[in-house]
Amino acid sequence: MKNDNTLHVMELFAGVGGFRLGLEKANPFLFDITWANQWEPSRKAQDAFECYTRNFQSGVHSNEDIATISNETFEQYSPDLVVGGFPCQDYSVARTLSGEQGIQGKKGVLFWEIKRVLESTHPKYVLLENVDRLLKSPSAQRGRDFAVMLTTFRDLGYTVEWRVINAAEYGFAQRRRRVFIFAYKNGISFSDSQNEFNNEEIVFKEGFFAKPFPIKDEPFKNRVDSVKLPKDIVDVSDNFSFNFHTAGIMRNGKIYTVHADPVITKPTPLGDILLDEELVDEKYYLSPEVEEKFKYLRGPKKIERTSASGHKYVFSEGGMSPTDLLDMPGRTMLTSEGSTNRSTHIVEVNGRKRLLAPIECERLNGFPDDWTKGMTDRMRYFCMGNALVVGLIEIMGNRIAEIEDIHTPSEVQIALPLS
């Protein structure tokens, strides 16, 4: 049990620090980020790590492959809260050849490093972020990957809530959909209080996400499903398939999931985050030649193509607005932002078309101006395409602070793994 009034936080796959920034905005006195890891494989320049260390001074900053970091290092920092955004990968598992009970996952899959951290430290809370397609991957066995994750949490003694959140639906300037996963250790005070509610009450009213991100309380109009996870994680990996909806809870291996209908907050329009035009460098304005390229890329098209096997087919693509509407929230920003690409934002101001400046991309995610200054523009766009909306984490940080305020911190009763 901790003797101080802070939550010691371990930040994994930290990027440029969106999780930390959001938590510190929520309550800098509660959240103490003691250790953070950011390492970009196959890159000599570690731009995101350098950005992180430039903006945050306290705590230990690790720029190592997390797979090479010892369990003892994790144990040393003894986090109460583990946070991180991690890639959607193939989470399939299998038994080892050497032992009936041995389990192994595919090498290089970063979720297994999260599992290793949790096994070593048993934090009270875990908060993760991923792309929303995680709930339906892989296409050949819908829901398997997320089910493997939930099974892992179950076996480590956690209850899990999840919610797909579109930031624009809760007041922000970007239509960015991501799945957020909040897990809490069985046996802590918050877990005991949640056990007083049934699944429907948690998902619609009383849960971690339901309070700050309300949804319409009409379960009879929503798609609702439930299922129990198989006991064996290899059975889950090999055979389990399930249609996970955008909100749900897993406790003791039992899953309840609904298609959430958000109570929408008026979004911030894209025009509100733009720089004054006199501050925009001329290099961001489109030349006539580049304008023509974007006109083609964003327009409707039907193109005959030939596959590698020689099969001919027609690739078709619908048209989109030639510029992004300034009275609407921005579209999801991708890592290709700023390139001559269909997904790149194009705004028209005073009759001239241009790209978003890097500062505007930072604003689109809720970062302070020039957070990524010092990188090339290309890397600034890339990092913001990878980042999360900081304001969502601030809201979740406030929710954790509320939980901590209501529920006196209690020592975690470590749940024994299921046999």
- Please report the sign of the dihedral spanned by the C-alpha atoms of residue 61, residue 66, residue 70, residue 74: positive
Q: Which uninterrupted H or E stretch holds 93?
A: strand 93-95
State the DSSP string of 5-61: SSEEEEEES-TTTHHHHHHHHH-TTTEEEEEEE---TT-S--HHHHHHHHH--SSEE
- Would you call the peptide bond into 138 cis, given omega within 30 degrees of 0 as the criterion? yes
| Rounded Cα distance, 89 and 133, in Å | 11
Classify residue 150 by its DSSP letter: H
CA distances (Å), 246 to each of 150, 164, 329, 396, in order?
A: 15, 5, 21, 17
Strand partners, 93: 105
* DSSP β-bridge partners for residue 304: 314
Buried-exposed string 125-136: b where 16+ CB fall within 10 A, e elsewhere:
bbbbbbebebbe
Catalytic residue IDs: 88
Q: Tell me the C-alpha to C-alpha distance, in Å, between residue 41 and each of 63, 108, 209.
A: 10, 11, 33
Rounded CA-CA distance 208/399 in Å is 7
- Which two three-digit tokens encode residue 262? 């958000």
Q: Rg of the chain over CA atoms, in angstroms?
A: 22
* Separation of alpha carbons 230 and 8, rounded Å: 34
CA distance to 73, 135, 348, 369, per residue, from 275 (Å): 44, 37, 13, 10
